[in-house]
Structure formats: C-alpha cells, structure tokens
Structure 1
Amino acid sequence: MAVLSEFVETFGQQLLREFGERVHKVTVDAGFTCPNRDGSRGRGGCTFCNNKSFHPATAARGIADQVREGMRCVRRRTRARKVIAYFQTYTNTYAPLSRLSAAYEQALAVPGVVGLSVGTRPDCLSEAVVALIASYRDRGLSVWVELGLQSSFDETLARVNRGHGYGEYREAIALLQRYRIPVCTHLIVGLPQEGRDHALHTLARVLSLGVAGLKIHPLHVVRGSRLAHDFRAGRLVPLDLPTYVGIVADLVERTPRHVAFHRLTGTAKAALLLAPDWCIGKWRVLNAITAELARRGTRQGVFACEGVSSW
C-alpha cells in the first residue's frame, strides 16, 4: 500500500533528517488575542474562525505544563523524545516584546524542546519581534514562523474579514527573509467564491516570494463562527472530499520538492464541526490524497516549473 511520504515531502521527514530521530510539535496556548478581534483591525475575527476548534485541552495550564503534557502524549503515541513548541492559538506575536519573550522562554526551558514555531498574522510582525525569534535560531534551535495568509486575493480576504491584504504578506515575507527565518504559509482551499484556479494562483504567488513550508487546510464550518450562519442559510456549500483531494494533488504537483508540507488537511472536533463531515478525521483525507497521487503516477514537484498566468 502506498504511503504519503512516497509522494510528498513532509515536515516530519524534514525533521527526521535534521535531528536523526522523530520530532513532533506540541501546541501551546499562551493566552494571546488577535487584532481582528480586539478592535485594532476589526471585531468578530475571521468568518471561519472559532479558536476552540484547535484549542489545546491543556490550555488552562501554564505554558511549561502544556508543553510537558504535550510531550507525554507524544511519547505515549510515537515514543518521540524531542518536540517543537508550537504557539498556535490566535496571534502569537501580538503582545509587548517582554511578554512574548517570557512566553517563548517558558516553553523552551522544558527539557526535550528543540525548537519554536510561532503562528501569527502577516500584519503583526515588527522588526523587534522578528529579531527576537531569530535569536532563538542563533542559539541552535529549530525556528519557524507560520503565517496565516489563506488566500492571495484581497477580495477574498475582505470577504472573510481577515483584516489584512496580500500586500502585508509580501512585506512580512521580506522581513522574515532578511532574518533568515523559515516560513510556513497557511492556505485554505474552498474559501467562499474561490475554486481550483484561485488555489493554483495563490500557490504560485506564495512560491514566487519564497517559502520553506506550506499548510493546506480545507474550509470547514464550525459552530460559533460567522460562516456558520451562511451555511445554515444555504449560502455556502463546502467542498466535497473528491474535489478537495483533486485540488490538493494539483498543488502538490506544482510545489518544488524543497518545500515541506506541514499539513495537507485540517480537522475539527466533532462537537464543533458542522460541515463537511469528512473533516472530523485526517487519515481518510490523507489516504485519499495518497491514492490520487498514486493513480496519477505523479508526486511533489513534477509540474513545479509550470507557469500560472496573471489573474
């Protein structure tokens, strides 16, 4: 039976080569908020967002306790002894520098933590914050910044109330590249009024600026999000699984092999998920993507040099 790593360069493979053993990410909730919620950029957040859908179960604990519990879970599941602390919830560069430094240091002080991954928005990166993150790389740690772009189309970003445009993403990438910090860009497939061509154009634009990693998510509708109202009113029909799998296979084929895929699907807890139902678990989706690439007889990068016309 074919396995995904035969066709796709995964982040797990990359970490295995870098450290010589398995390394996993553990999620951290440091209690930060978002400028799209507190009024700085907007209120209510992105229309698809309900942070409870990726809120760690240990979030009520301190940062170090969250990391230690995450490590215990990883060791039980995979026996991996090393982890990267992933600051995921909301915007993890949106706080005074002293608070950011204190939060990162608490996670990095836990034995077995070998890296830091910081999830944030393109409009929340100052030079001082980027310099702070770069300082951890200079200490020999594996360091990543994960930028939530979702789409390169400003009309789409406005439609889902992102509170920033593609221009801010370009500026953020340029700043991070000056400090030699690798970037993993988050993209959502199936956003309102977007289809396959939008996904391909967004990928081409992201790759043209330079990126070290990608996370691909399907749009899913969760309770408590503004998008849930559109779904219940029949104004939104999420992608079916075959359509999503086909688009992801197209994206994989057009992505150079040096770019690592940190994720090819996304899930939500059953209690929160409204649609599509196939977003409850990841393995059905990953197996379908693997099967599609095997059926095509292709793999990552086979069409990486293919140009995409201007939109």
Structure 2
Amino acid sequence: MGLDSFVNTFGAICKHKYGERLRKLTIDAKFTCPNRDGSLGKGGCTFCNVASFSHEHGSEKSIAVQLSEGRERLKGKSSKYFAYFQAYTSTYDEYQVLKAKYDEAIEDPDIVGLFVGTRPDCVPDEVIELLASYQRRGLEVWLELGLQTANETTLKRINRGHGFAEYQDTVLRARAAGLKVCTHMILGLPGEAHADYLSTLKQVLDVGVDGLKIHPLHIVAGSTLAKSWQAGRVSLISKEDYAASVGELIRHTPKEVIFHRVTAYAKKPVLLAPDWCGFRWDGLVAIVDDLKLHGGQGHYVDLNCCFESVSAVANQ
C-alpha cells in the first residue's frame, strides 16, 4: 500500500477529477524577494541558497518556451498540466506584470491550473482578486504560502522577515475570496522539536487551510545555515524522527485537508546534508511504514485533546 491508502493526497484528487495524475510545469519568471532586494533585508532566509543572490537569476526564456520544454521533458506522463510559479516570491511585482505573466501561462491550451508560491507578507488584495478571477474561469488555482513554522522565535532565528500574524491575515483574505491555500511547513528547523511541529499544525488548522506541504530541513550550499552546519552548530533531523513526526502530523490532520507533499529531496552537490534527503523515495517509504503501523490521516478524532496533551508536555 502506498501513501494514497493513508493520506488524502493531491495526486489522488487529480486522478479522481481529471482521470489521471497531472504534472506541474515549473516556471522561473524572474521574480525576486523582499528578503533579498533590500525591502526587508539582503541576507535571505537562512535555509536559502544566497550564493545565487550575487548574480542575475531567472530564465531568459519566455514562459511559453519554459512550458513547452517542461512538457517535452514529461512527455507521456500526463495530457494536461499545471503551471507552477515556484521560484522566489511569485506575487512580488506590479499588478500588470503579474497579470501578464500569469496570462501567458494559462494561454497554453494544455494548462488547466495555476499554482503560485509566495510569502505570506506579499499578497495584496488585488493579487488575491486576480487569482480568484482565474479560478472563476474554471482553472484549478492554489496559493502556496511559505509559512515554515508558527513559532515567532524560530521565524526570527531563520531571518524570515514576517510573523504568524501576516500569514493569518493572508489566509483569511484568500479563503474569503474563494482561493485554496496550501501551507508549507519545514520540520527540523534549529531549536525546534516534535512539540513545535504539532503546535504549528494546530495554529494552521485553527486559521483554516486547504492543503499542506511538509519538508525536512536540509542544508544547501551557499546558505547561511550551511556555515553553521559546517561549524557544528546545527543538528539535523534523522529520517526516522522525520517520518515519525510527519506520521503524527498526518494523524492530527482532518481528512478533508489535502496533502500536496510530505517530504522532499535535493541533489548533490547543492545538497550538503542530511544524506537521506538525497534519495527521492527513502523518506516517503519511512513515512508510509509509520502510517501502516500507527494509522493514517484523521486518526485522532479529538484534535484539541491531543494538542492539549502535547502542549502540557512541552511546557513542563
């Protein structure tokens, strides 16, 4: 049995809705980030590869060309695709610039949806309305928000540049407009442990959310965390601990919430550590094994009771 047997996955949702598992075509539209251009700071988040900040980023190819090349690489994998604005902060530009880029993507006849990754503090009302207008036209639209953690101390420690309040405000405005929100969480951030992950999940669920992406912290070359890790100041989450924590988060999540991802991997030489993040399937297999043993999504019916137990232990 695979992940779909235990978790409400986006892949399974697609198969039911479209008759197949649709693939995402990633787009680098040359966006930047307020945490790298000086608006908030120039160091970026501590887990980001800041080495790339010193030169021009982004593809020189048009969005149409990127979609065409991506479709060619995935030839035969699916008949329709989602356009995924993934690189940097994909709502951080003037309205007309954003609209032109999104419009170029959805002009492709094979594109049936739009995924836009961004920061919680970079989503003004006019952008929410723009994305909602695409959804009203029948497109599958998801706003992906990189929260990472609800712990204010950790957010400052990783130089995130926003707090939980900005996340809450954006989620409430987006969902009020009818947009679906997918929240990103990172497990293993410095200073955090299992109780912190559960606390973040509880706060996210309390605000309201439609989807979740969970990632393990991994060290990439060029990041601020890479220097700390090389100096022996950062310990990393093991595959076993990660799988156990993800399993618990899944069990605490109501069945209607859609999991878009439960792990992630990176390739060397960009990936420095941990080694297990360099293998695509290792983390996923460990998570499925945990779910087989302890139960799948929504296993804990009385969520508040479970969270209160965790909070009590954490505060001892």
Whether the TM-score (by the shorter chain) exceeds 0.5 is yes
Label 1:22 to 1:158 Cα distance change in 2 as closer, same or farther (>3 A): same
Question: What is the TM-score of this pair, normalised by structure 1?
Answer: 0.94
Aligned equivalent of 2:48: 49
Aligned equivalent of 1:72: 72
Aligned equivalent of 1:282: 280
Matches within 5 A, 1:148-187: 148-187=146-185
Label 1:52 to 1:29 Cα distance change in 2 as closer, same or farther (>3 A): farther
Q: Percent identity over the alignment?
A: 48
Aligned equivalent of 2:245: 247
Matches within 5 A, 1:185-200: 185-200=183-198
Aligned equivalent of 1:306: 303
Query: Distance between the aligned counterparts of 1:91 and 1:51, measured in 2?
Result: 15
What is the RMSD of the two structures over their aligned residues, measured on CA atoms?
A: 1.7
Work out whether residues 51 and 90 of structure 1, in 8 Å CA contact, stay in contact via their aligned partners in 2: no
Q: Deviations over 1:68-102 (max 9, x none)?
A: 121222234x2x11111010000000000010001
Query: Distance between the aligned counterparts of 2:41 and 2:108, measured in 1?
Result: 36
Work out whether residues 144 and 181 of structure 2, in 8 Å CA contact, stay in contact via their aligned partners in 1: yes
Unaligned stretches of 5+ in structure 2? Answer: 53-57
Query: Distance between the aligned counterparts of 1:157 and 1:112, measured in 2?
Result: 38
Question: What is the TM-score of this pair, normalised by structure 2?
Answer: 0.93
Work out whether residues 255 and 304 of structure 1, in 8 Å CA contact, stay in contact via their aligned partners in 2: no
Query: Distance between the aligned counterparts of 1:277 and 1:36, measured in 2?
Result: 28
Instruction: Give 1:19's aligned amino acid.
Output: Y
Work out whether residues 146 and 183 of structure 2, in 8 Å CA contact, stay in contact via their aligned partners in 1: yes
Q: CA deviation at 1:22?
A: 2.5
Query: Distance between the aligned counterparts of 1:305 and 1:251, measured in 2?
Result: 14
Instruction: Give 1:71's aligned amino acid.
Output: R
Query: Distance between the aligned counterparts of 1:164 and 1:93, measured in 2?
Result: 16
Aligned equivalent of 2:100: 102
Q: CA deviation at 1:254?
A: 0.6
Work out whether residues 44 and 50 of structure 2, in 8 Å CA contact, stay in contact via their aligned partners in 1: no
Query: Distance between the aligned counterparts of 2:156 and 2:143, measured in 1?
Result: 23
Instruction: Give 1:153's aligned amino acid.
Output: N
Q: Deviations over 1:111-150 (max 9, x none)?
A: 2100001000010011111111111001110000000000
Work out whether residues 182 and 212 of structure 1, in 8 Å CA contact, stay in contact via their aligned partners in 2: yes
Matches within 5 A, 1:212-227: 212-227=210-225
Instruction: Give 1:25's aligned amino acid.
Output: K
Work out whether residues 86 and 116 of structure 2, in 8 Å CA contact, stay in contact via their aligned partners in 1: yes
Query: Distance between the aligned counterparts of 1:250 and 1:144, measured in 2?
Result: 25
Query: Distance between the aligned counterparts of 1:292 and 1:205, measured in 2?
Result: 24
Q: CA deviation at 1:51?
A: 7.6
Q: Deviations over 1:19-61 (max 9, x none)?
A: 23321111111000000001111111100012899xxxx9342
Instruction: Give 2:47's aligned amino acid.
Output: F
